[in-house]
Copies of this chain bind each other. A is one copy, B any other.
Amino acid sequence: MTKALRIGIAGLGTVGAGVVKILAARGDYLAAACGRPIELVAVSARNSNKDRGIDLSGVRWESDPMALARADDIDLVAELIGGSEGVARELVEAALKAGKHVVTANKALIAHHGTALARLAEEKGVALNYEAAVAGGIPIVKTMRESLAGNEIRSIHGILNGTCNYILTEMETTGRDFADVLKDAQDLGYAEADPTFDVGGIDAAHKLAILASLAFGTEVDFANVHIEGIEKISATDIAFAREFGFKVKLLAIAEKVDGGVVQRVHPALVPEGTPLAAVSGVYNAVAVDGDRVGHLVLEGRGAGEGPTASAVLSDLADIARGLILPPFILPAKKLKAPAKPAMDTHKSSFYLRFLAVDRAGSMAAITQALAQASVSIERIVQRGEAGKKASGDGRLPVVFITHETDEGTMARVRALLAEHEDVAGTPQVVRIEDGELR
Contact = CB atoms under 8 A, between A and B. Distances in A.
A280 to B, nearest CB: 9
Contact of A297 (B22, B298, B307, B318): B298
Contacts of A291: 306
A395 interface: no
A152 B275 CA distance: 27
Interface stretch (A71-79, A134-142, A186-194, A262-270): A134-142
Contacts of A329: 33
A142 B137 CA distance: 14
A149 to B, nearest CB: 4
A127 to B, nearest CB: 12
A149 B314 contact: yes
Nearest to A296: B300
Given A150-B309, A310-B151, A313-B149, A138 B296 contact: yes
Greatest chain B CB density within 10 A among A314, A322, A331 is at A314
A139 B149 contact: no
Interface in A363-378: none
A175 interface: no
Given A139-B143, A297-B298, A323-B323, A292 B150 contact: no
A150 B321 contact: no
A317 interface: yes
A278 B294 CA distance: 18
Nearest to A149: B317
Contacts of A137: 292-294, 296
A117 to B, nearest CB: 19
A217 to B, nearest CB: 8
Contacts of A275: 275, 278, 299
B300 A295 contact: yes
Contact of A331 (B32, B299, B307, B309): B32
Contact of A146 (B292, B296, B314, B330): B314
29 contacts: A22-B292, A29-B330, A33-B149, A33-B329, A137-B292, A137-B296, A139-B143, A139-B147, A142-B143, A142-B146, A142-B147, A143-B143, A146-B318, A148-B314, A149-B314, A150-B313, A150-B314, A275-B275, A290-B310, A292-B313, A293-B306, A293-B307, A294-B300, A294-B301, A295-B301, A296-B299, A297-B297, A297-B298, A297-B299
Nearest to A312: B150
Most-contacted residue by chain B among A139, A304, A330 (CB, 10 A):
A139
A274 to B, nearest CB: 9
A297 B34 CA distance: 25
A334 B147 contact: no
A18 interface: yes
A336 to B, nearest CB: 12
A5 interface: no
Contacts of A325: 321
How many chain copies does the complex carry? 2
Contacts of A278: 273, 275, 278
Contacts of A343: none
A94 interface: no
Contacts of A309: 150, 292
Given A292-B310, A296-B299, A301-B293, A131 B147 contact: yes
B300 A297 contact: yes
A26 interface: yes
Nearest to A278: B278
Nearest to A143: B139
B150 A317 contact: yes
Nearest to A145: B33
Contacts of A283: 438
B321 A294 contact: no
Nearest to A295: B300
Interface string A319-342: 001110110011100100000000
